[in-house]
Amino acid sequence: MVSDASMPAKQVFYSGRVQGVGFRYTTKQIASGYEVTGSVKNLPDGRVELLASASDADELEAFLAAIDESNLGSLIKEREISSVSAPLGLRGFVIER
């Protein structure tokens, strides 16, 4: 599936103990259970950035809720969530370096 601007998308910045604990890899595993595309990456300031889009808003919200309900939830101190335009041409869910 190729993302486009008509798809709901969210950008989430996670802070807390979110680097060096398998956060990106676990997020990618969770994504495999949902119809989402996007990416996750570590930021130099210690946060993790997630960009995700889905064919419908319910699927996207379910994916974000699954992250919070996983073992990652206890490591997350804060989340900054904003709606964004879905990036064009994105396929699958990837870990960015």
Report pLDDT digits (tens) over 23-35. 999 999 999 999 9
Q: For residues 58-79, b (16+ Cβ closer than 10 Å) or e, as one string?
A: ebbeebbebbeebebeebbeee
Q: Determine the structural domain holding residue 73 and report its residue range.
A: 9-95
The answer as to whether 3 is a domain residue is: no
| 35 in any annotated domain | yes
Query: Of the listed 24, 47, 79, 91, which one is catalytic?
Result: 24
Find out whether 18 and 74 touch, Cβ atoms under 8 Å. no
Let me know if residue 85 belongs to a domain: yes
Percent of the residues in the chain that have a pLDDT greater than 70, as a whole number: 95
Q: Is 17 a catalytic residue?
A: no
Separation of alpha carbons 42 and 19, rounded Å: 7
Residue 59 included in any domain: yes
Residue 1 lies in a domain: no
Q: Supply the pLDDT for residue 2.
A: 46
Question: 82 in a domain, yes or no?
Answer: yes
Q: CATH number for the domain including 42?
A: 3.30.70.100
Query: Given 17, 42, 71, 79, which residue is catalytic?
Result: 42
pTM for the whole thing? Answer: 0.91
Q: How far apart are CA 70 and CA 93, in angstroms?
A: 18
> What is the average pLDDT value for the chain, to the nearest integer?
92
In a domain, 4, yes or no: no
Adjacent-strand bridge partners of 12: 50, 81
**Annotated catalytic residue 24:** yes
